[in-house]
Structure 1
């Protein structure tokens, strides 16, 4: 099994960040790679569409409002992995009310690619996503 994790400190309070990212169906609000999200099964599943029309289906498997994190599994996607499980967390930065650290991590089994290739793919997705989140919070 392979894994990767990316974190970034953002110019907003942890609650402001969580208010933007904490909704499982909220990706289009801050992630340009996902312009469309449809909630299914009472909000426990999201059907995402990227700009190329590819479909990604993800299931919420854990949610902690007080801890500001959620975990999800990919059910369907054009990625070369199986068994994908990811967590998005918002942390406070010690001594700073105006900053938050967001950590996006995942573990998965590469399928047809090396561990390093799969790890770099998702590290890039997470880095780009957190950069987009930074831009959304800076508006």
Structure 2
């Protein structure tokens, strides 16, 4: 099983960050390469459209508003992996100021190496968190 992780520190209060990213349907609000999201199954499944035209369907596995985190799995999509599970969470900043956003996942590559899959998702997470920073700073 391969893993990827990324984080970003923001000079923004933890509750403000969570308000922006904490909704399972909120990716289009801060992630420009996912301009569309639609919920189904009582808010537990999201169908995403990427700017490339791909459809990604994900299921919410766990949501904890008090701990400002949620975990999800990919049900279908173009990524060359299976058994994907990821978590997005917001933590207090190290110095008690601001916040830290972490995005991490594990998966089994299909047709590519562990290193290639790890690089793919590390880039997705890092690019996503950079986009979050731009959205927060607007």
Q: Does 1:89 align with 2:85?
A: no
1:8-87 counterparts in 2 under 5 A?
8-87=8-87
Secondary structure of residue in 2 paired with 1:96 = coil
User: Structure 1 stretches (4+) deviating beyond 3 angstroms?
Assistant: 94-97
Q: CA RMSD in A?
A: 0.7
Structure 2 gap segments, 5+ residues each:
none
Structure 1 gap segments, 5+ residues each:
none
Secondary structure of residue in 1 paired with 2:34 = coil
Whole-Å Cα distance in 2 between the matches of residues 137 and 51 of structure 1?
21
Q: Does 1:115 align with 2:118?
A: no
User: Residue 52 of structure 1: CA displacement?
Assistant: 1.6
Q: TM-score, normalised by structure 1?
A: 0.97
Give the count of matched residue pairs.
138
What are the Cα deviations for residues 84-125 of structure 1, in whole angstroms up to 9, with x where unaligned?
00000100014433x110000000000000000000000000
Q: TM-score, normalised by structure 2?
A: 0.98
